[in-house]
Amino acid sequence: MTTEPHHQRVLIVDFGSQVTQLIARRVREAGVYCEIHPFDKAEAVIDDYAPSAIILSGGPASVLEADSPRIGRKLFDHGAPLLAICYGQQLLCDVLGGKVEGGHAGEFGRAEIVIGKESPLFAGIGAVDHREPVWMSHGDRVVAIPEGFEVIATSVGAPFAAIGDEARRMYAVQFHPEVVHTPRGAEIYRNFLFGIAGLKGDWTMASFRQEMVQKIRAQVGTGKVICGLSGGVDSSVAAVLIHEAIGDQLICVFVDTGLLRLNEAEQVVTLFRDHYNIPLIHVDAGAEFLGALAGVSDPETKRKIIGGKFVDIFDREAAKIDGADFLAQGTLYPDVVESVSARGGPSAVIKSHHNVGGLPDFMKLKLVEPLRELFKDEVRALGVELGLAPAFVGRHPFPGPGLAIRIPGDITPEKVDVLQQADAIYLDEIRKAGLYDKIWQAFAVLLPVKTVGVMGDARTYENVLALRAVTSTDGMTADFFEFPWDVLGKTATRIINEVRGVNRVVYDVTSKPPGTIEWE
């Protein structure tokens, strides 16, 4: 999954850190293309990948452990400028002749480094003796650095908080510049990419669009492509991009699961048939999905059922289309990265409704995945580049399983109807209050709990509905949105008055740390 050779590229070596993808985000934000490869495959790809710079991620292990993730000298001897982060710094020191010890007091959370030497890594950030807040997360400590390196910065718990070998353009920091808790971390990455590595920052959505159109044409030739539309932004952007490349060789199959937001199916059909004039087959499969999910309560089982049903329907529709050779889907880069995580990441749980890594053997179609190099916000930027309305590409993310994981417990048509109505009211009130674009994702959940209430002169025994809204920049981590009480009050009142079957509304204020799955 590489771009054209003329792009300068950064290789990010993943040692299992939960924030490795944030490193890629910082690099991409600077206009530099990068890819994440697990530590045990990095040496095998480095020659073909030909990176212009290398970044070693952090990780949860200790270099003092016998089974810790390691690399040999090949990456260090490659000659490309190198930046090592946290565990990466300790591994660099361990491999190149320094020393790491355990048993010292660690640093976790907010810390402060003191710049001890002028360095291009901290250009524009501070002179000697400047104090800079950073985010630390380490237990072991570097106690000796390799020959050729000098100390650039220190902290209370890390006498070698930042080190550098300017002759070899190799630098290492004990803290995490990729997280927002290191306020000027993005500047540190830009200093490394541009000031030290001398990169140009030549990767844009416009260039990606042009190159991907050519790639799609080369891959597909005169064949036909079926694009599985889910109704979400990712598959929609993929479809528009493919249509730009091959026109009516693309046939979209929109599988209406019956688990979408209220009226969302009609909106998708109108967008593709009327606005883009893209050939579209609308499969009303709500009864099939609900039938397959009947009596199923386990959320992971629901995901697998939905993923399997999608594949079955695509295969069935493909058999009706003469000459269909390819299946397109909106796989994103986080899906790909998680599927090959350095430490056996959470993809088996998080992405079980995706077909990351290939299709079942019985399907004869070849995959077209034009978005597999992009993060979520990059997909949105590409959508705008392609002319999709900002209001469409800016829609809150909606999971592949749809409302199935917003209804814990068994699923019935009646529950789906209640949740669709309540969710629509919730989003309507958010938009009216001007809050929609300030929230990354907002949704309602129909809890498997009933409570006694009094409505008017009657006692009721109805469902409890939970409302959730989170803020995020990349969907990897999230924090709850601090709703104005009056908006929550209006929303709850409307739901209880307008939706039969709900007599209590609660607001969920749980945060989403890295690595967790959707609320369910």
Are residues 482 and 468 in contact, defined by beta-carbon separation less than 8 angstroms?
no
What is the amino acid identity at position 131? Answer: R
User: In a 3-state reduction of DSSP, which class is residue 496?
Assistant: helix
User: In a 3-state reduction of DSSP, which class is residue 462?
Assistant: strand
The tokens for 107 are: 């640093």
Which one from 107, 132, 178, 369 is the annotated catalytic residue?
178
178 counts as catalytic: yes
> Cα-Cα-Cα-Cα dihedral of 347, 349, 353, 359, to 10°?
50
130 counts as catalytic: no
Residues with Cβ < 8 Å from 188, sequence gap 6 or more? 121, 122, 125, 173, 177, 182
CA distances from 188 to 23, 118, 179, 183 (A): 11, 13, 12, 10
414 counts as catalytic: no
Nearest to 72 by CA among 58, 92, 98: 92
Specify the DSSP element, H or E, that contains 181.
none
> Cα-Cα-Cα-Cα dihedral of 505, 510, 512, 515, to 10°?
-100
The tokens for 260 are: 């979408």
Please tell me the distance from the alpha carbon of residue 339 to that of residue 512, in angstroms, as a whole number.
Answer: 20
Please tell me the distance from the alpha carbon of residue 189 to that of residue 254, in angstroms, as a whole number.
Answer: 41
Which one from 37, 138, 176, 353 is the annotated catalytic residue?
176
Nearest to 314 by CA among 279, 343, 281, 341: 281
Helices (H), 64-203: 87-96, 185-190
Q: What is the Cα gyration radius of the chain?
A: 25
Specify the DSSP element, H or E, that contains 90.
helix 87-96
Q: What's the burial of 95, exposed, middle or buried (CB within 10 Å: 0-12/13-18/19+)? A: middle
Which one from 34, 35, 37, 86 is the annotated catalytic residue?
86
The set of catalytic residues is 86, 176, 178
